[in-house]
Structure 1
């Protein structure tokens, strides 16, 4: 298991504090592993694992806890027999209706340290942020950077040159589970395709109640095929108009935003705009693994769909 010290160094100062630690990012980017790394850190600092309560809400065993009231009652019941501080770990918390009320109640009523993960950037928007306003700290967990990929890939192919490793990284990307497939070409491509479809269905179509799925797929295909180029909603509207299809620019912008909220696309805003030009929607979008420092995004974007085996 990669220690991911880059993230742990950011989380570590908040461990044991009363702020809710929120980890967001695209599905299968390693958020659950980050929870395990936090547990390891706590145990190394002398915390007994009996003080941990962990729930993954994608596990059907916890399907009876998908409302704030049910989860609240269960946690209060389980914490009654635990002396001292309680450490709560909730994976994919967005599956719980009105989860923010429940989490805020734990923070007020219990002596606890709370860690939650979610697969959507809207996790802390709107009403959710109102309940937790000023009482949380967020960490976006990305797939493996190249140094992290290299560390793991070298355990599988220890004698591979760095240049060849980078070529593999360009082709496969940084999704952690690929190591379980030993980065074999066909299984990796199948896994990434299924992951892409899962994000599209669960985090975009289902969560945002998208009705025109065909339009969404066409916009997805366009952005993927033109990754890194300036995007304009009005140009797509004109194209669809020529195809005898009426589409509002607002719809195109909303669909792109849904993709960004699901961490499928990453938006890079222009920095050279002034005045009313700032209001124009001429951003660039990248897909896959990117570095977090914006100055390097263009050099490090990965778009595995466009790569040929």
Structure 2
């Protein structure tokens, strides 16, 4: 089993704290595998196997436990009174009224509780009310590029150089960042079939069934629009007008409902706008990014897209993977691709496929130069050129930047 050390370090940091550890993320991103790795780590450090109770609610063996009462009784009967008990509840949203069982277990001082879910609704409603201030969310994404190299058993330090890393990066973009795809050995047909399974499960189980959507074809029209407009600013009215123009009328209210369901399922992420001069969060506008570029390849094939937007998508995911709050930066009439916030600190990122053309370089630098503050500013490109500085703005290669975080011990 390949470890994901950054996430494991985060779990270790919260071990034995009186907080519920809530792991969220799209289906098949590696949450279950991460819990298994953590359980192995606990046992390697002296925790007895009898101290661990692990239940995966996608396993039919545990179907009788899918009510709050039966789940609570099952766990309570197995708790050790004189030792810490480590409880792992995987895909707990499949349990009716699970929040009641979770809340009751949390009251016990010798219970260290970990739960996972594949929908943002896990942390809304009654659970959020019951557990306010008593949980920490650890959001799990599919593999980063550095993790992808680990999973395909590639040591970046021993590759044949930048050209080999460039080829692997191209494969990472096309063949998906979901962990299991690494076991399919770049077999395009098998990977596409696997991605189709993920896509259909998320759409049918996490969106259609949960939201009781009757017109699945209309939902897929909205998804196709989203997948085809990565990194573009657009409104719900724009989506409504575009689909309606093709002969299928849809209201802006329905579009908003579908977008909410898509973000709740973690298949897309909304990047809101932030006024970097006025330090204000803006309610209107925003962009959407995909959790995995392979899903776009599955749905739209090799239909043309600006590769710069794909690169932008990868940078966005990496920034949130590093624990930053990420926004589209509004600077007067100019736009900065990303303003990344953490506490009182801010950093700016402009993303471009290449800036070897002088006019392109100046165009990309301009929004960053207009920011007169002293926060770090980066121009991220795919150009395989030495790092350079322009009036304090650092131009960096995206692969170098992605690899630079490979061995950090903690995200926080």
Q: Distance in 2 between matches of 1:276 and 1:247?
A: 32
Q: 2:173 is matched with which residue? A: 170
Determine if the alignment matches structure 1 residue 278 to structure 2 residue 278: no
CA shift, 1:240, in A, is: 4.2
Alpha-carbon distance, 1:122 to partner: 1.5
Q: CA deviation at 1:131?
A: 1.2
Residue 182 of structure 1: how far off its partner (Å):
1.9
Q: Is the 8 A contact 1:156 1:182 kept in 2?
A: no
Deviations 1:180-234 (A, max 9, x none): 2123221111111221111111111111111221211100011111111112111
Query: Residue 42 of structure 2 aligns to a residue in which SS?
Result: helix
Question: Are 2:143 and 2:177, in contact at CA under 8 Å, matched by a contact in 1?
Answer: yes
2:85 pairs with 1:97? no
Deviation track 1:123-149 (CA, whole Å, cap 9, x = no partner) reads 111211011111111100000000000
SS at match of 1:133: coil
CA distance in 2, matches of 1:177, 1:109: 36
CA contact (8 A) 1:68 1:97 kept: yes
Contact 2:273 2:281 in 1 (8 A): no
Q: 2:144 maps to what in 1?
A: 145
2:203 matches 1:200: yes
Q: State the distance in 1 between where 2:66 and 2:256 align.
A: 31
Give the whole-Å Cα distance in 1 for the aligned partners of 2:143 and 2:279. Answer: 38
**3-state secondary structure, aligned to 2:254:** helix
Deviations 1:237-275 (A, max 9, x none): 233444554432121011011111111001111223879
Secondary structure of 1:231's counterpart equals coil
- Cα offset, 1:98, TM superposition: 1.0
Residue 108 (structure 1) aligns with: 107
Q: Is the 8 A contact 1:241 1:247 kept in 2?
A: yes
Change (3 A) 1:29 1:236: same
Q: Conserved in 2, the CA contact under 8 Å of 1:23 and 1:140?
A: yes
Deviation (angstroms), 1:279: 3.2
Q: TM-score normalized by structure 2?
A: 0.67
CA RMSD of aligned residues (A): 2.5
Give the number of the structure whose residues are more often strand, by fraction: 2
1:266 is matched with which residue: 269, 272, 275? 269
State the distance in 2 between where 1:106 and 1:132 align.
12
Aligned counterpart, 1:49: 49
Using the alignment, how far apart are the partners of 1:297 and 1:68 within structure 2? Answer: 48
After the TM superposition, which residues 237-248 of structure 1 pair with which residues of structure 2 at under 5 Å, given as runs? Answer: 237-243=240-246, 245-248=248-251
In the alignment, the residues of structure 2 paired with residue 198 and residue 275 of structure 1 have an alpha-carbon distance, to the nearest angstrom, of: 40
Matching residue of 2:390: none
Q: Take 2:351 and 2:224, find their aligned partners in 1: how far apart are those partners?
A: 20
Q: Whose RCO is larger (CA < 8 A, sep 6+)?
A: 1
Structure 1 position 223 matched with structure 2 position 229: no
Aligned to 1:124: 123
Name which one, 1 or 2, has greater alpha-carbon Rg: 2
Question: CA–CA distance in 1 between the matches of 2:279 and 2:5?
Answer: 41
State the alpha-carbon separation in 2 of the partners of residues 145 and 241 from structure 1: 37
Distance (whole Å) between structure 2 residues aligned to residue 54 and residue 298 of structure 1: 42
Report if aligned partners of 1:173, 1:288 keep a CA contact under 8 Å in 2: no
Q: Distance in 1 between matches of 2:281 and 2:112?
A: 44
Say whether the 8 Å CA contact 1:71–1:102 is kept in structure 2.
Answer: yes
Answer with 37-46 or 49-58: which moved more.
37-46
TM-score scaled by structure 1?
A: 0.89
Deviation at 1:105, TM superposition (A): 0.1
The 1-side partners of 2:280 and 2:18 are apart by 42
Distance verdict in 2 for CA 1:156–1:45, change over 3 Å: closer
Q: For the residues of structure 2 that align with 1:137 and 1:51, how far apart are their CA atoms? A: 22
Gaps of 5+ in 1: 301-309
1:77 corresponds to 2:46: no
